[in-house]
């Protein structure tokens, strides 16, 4: 019985594990850069689509967002995307709501 199939399987397994670890390190580095860009005053969008401005940063990985005058909510930092990293389609919602229906367009 030849050991070649076993060697091929081991080589493929090692290559897969190495590739997975490299991707994981890259994702962690990207996450660190993304979260370092979020500071007090940064306009953000949550992963669920809520827009707000960071008003407080906490050491436990949470932030307080101002989503309307007098309305502040607490979110996990991992659930935020800074507005500069968003596609133009999403940033338009923060900057100027040009695409808001006026009510006259109803069928």
Assign 3-class secondary structure to 52-90: EEEEEECCCCEEEEEEECCEEEEEEHHHEEEHHHCCHHH
- The per-residue pLDDT for 86 is 60
Beta-bridge partners for 51: 45
Residuewise pLDDT in 10s, the chain (107 residues): 678 889 999 999 999 999 999 999 998 898 888 777 888 888 888 888 888 899 999 989 899 999 999 999 999 988 887 766 666 665 555 555 555 555 454 45
Strands 43-46 and 71-76: unpaired
Q: How far apart are CA 34 and CA 56, in angstroms?
A: 17
Q: What is the pLDDT of residue 97?
A: 52
pLDDT at 106: 47
Instruction: Tell me how far apart the alpha carbons of residues 67 and 50 are, in angstroms, rounded to a whole number.
Output: 8
Report pTM.
0.56
How far is 85 from 82, CA to CA, in rounded Å? Answer: 6
Token pair of 84 as six digits? 């500069």
> How many angstroms separate the CA atoms of 107 and 103, rounded?
10
- Minimal CA–CA distance to 95: which of 35, 48, 45? 45
């Amino acid at each position: 019985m030849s050991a070649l199939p076993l060697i091929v399987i081991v080589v493929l397994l090692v290559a897969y594990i190495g590739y997975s670890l490299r991707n994981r390190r890259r994702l962690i580095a990207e996450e660190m850069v993304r979260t370092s860009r979020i500071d007090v005053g940064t306009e953000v969008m949550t992963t669920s689509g809520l827009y707000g401005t960071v008003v407080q940063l906490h050491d436990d990985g949470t932030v307080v967002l101002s989503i309307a005058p007098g309305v502040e909510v607490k979110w996990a930092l991992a659930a935020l995307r800074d507005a500069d990293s968003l596609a133009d389609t999403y940033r338009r919602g923060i900057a100027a709501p040009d695409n808001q229906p006026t009510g006259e367009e109803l069928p």
